[in-house]
């Protein structure tokens, strides 16, 4: 194992970090950069709680080595929304879809990426995308309703 210096962008900020060669992106974000919105669930790539975006693509940060994101742009839940909630966050709020909240960042990150690529995502595409994330505490009814509202809100003429 060796130390590596990485240069990356996280939520729009340039970062230079020193990591071990076996450090995961999840550990880099949570332990070194203090971005604890990204959750550690299964730690084996099954639950989606750790989902972030790397150059726009959803990635499971628990099974991504930090070294893989050298020179790339990472977006975490902290980088979504701003003064105003993102439409996906707003819909989760209105539908009380953040139930215990543990899985919520992963769902939101995944849905934001889906709707950027497919603004007209069908219910089937939404359901398929949600399959990448596990909610263990309550269920998917409110999460699905929130996702559908977020899709419809972004399609509505402003
Ligand atoms: S913590 Fe990464 S997929 Fe579960
Ligand atoms: S809201 Fe509790 S695990 Fe999904």
Report how far ligand 1's centroid is from the alpha carbon of 49 (Å).
5
pLDDT tens for each residue of 101-126? 999 999 999 999 999 999 999 999 99
Q: Using CB atoms within 10 A of its CB, is residue 48 exposed (0-12), middle (13-18) or buried (19+)?
A: buried
Ligand lying nearest the CA atom of residue 97: 2
Q: Quote the CA–CA distance of 156 and 109 in Å, as a whole number.
A: 21
pLDDT tens for each residue of 74-97? 999 999 999 999 999 999 999 999
- Is residue 47 within 6 Å of ligand 1 at its C-beta? yes
What is the span of the domain harbouring residue 27?
Answer: 3-79
Q: Which atom of ligand 1 is nearest to the CA of 62?
A: 2
- Give how many domains the chain has, as a whole number: 2
Report which protein residue has its CA nearest ligand 2's atom 4.
135
Residues 69 and 122 both lie in one domain: no
Q: Quick check: 19 and 66 in contact, CB under 8 A?
A: yes
Report how far ligand 1's centroid is from the alpha carbon of 61 (Å).
7
Domain boundary among 54, 79, 104: 79
* Alpha helix (H) residue ranges in 32-86: none
Q: How confident is the model at residue 156 (pLDDT cuts 50, 70, 90)?
A: low
- Is residue 137 within 6 Å of ligand 2 at its C-beta? yes
Write the DSSP symbol of residue 28.
I
Cα within 13 Å of Cα(150), Cβ side:
32
- Percent of the chain clearing pLDDT 70 (strictly above): 98
- Is residue 135 within 6 Å of ligand 2 at its C-beta? yes
Compute the CA torsion angle 109, 112, 115, 121 (nearest 10 deg): 50
Domain boundary among 79, 97, 130: 79
> Residue 60 belongs to a domain with what CATH number?
3.10.20.30
Q: 29-32 long-range contacts, Cβ below 8 Å, gap at least 24?
A: 29/61, 29/74, 29/76
């Amino acid at each position: 194992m060796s130390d590596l210096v990485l240069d990356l962008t996280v939520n729009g900020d340039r970062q230079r970090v020193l990591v071990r060669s076996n450090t995961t992106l999840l550990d880099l974000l949570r332990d070194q950069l203090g971005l604890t919105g990204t959750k550690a669930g299964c730690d084996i790539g099954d639950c989606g709680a750790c989902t972030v975006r790397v150059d726009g693509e959803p990635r499971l940060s628990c099974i991504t080595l930090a070294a893989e994101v050298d020179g790339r742009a990472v977006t975490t839940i902290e980088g979504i929304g701003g003064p105003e909630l993102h439409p996906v966050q707003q819909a989760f709020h209105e539908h009380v879809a953040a139930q215990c909240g543990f899985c919520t960042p992963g769902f939101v990150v995944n849905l934001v990426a889906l709707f950027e690529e497919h603004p007209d995502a069908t219910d089937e595409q939404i359901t398929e995308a949600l399959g990448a994330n596990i909610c263990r505490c309550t269920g998917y009814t409110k999460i699905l309703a929130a996702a559908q509202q977020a899709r419809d809100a972004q399609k509505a003429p402003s």
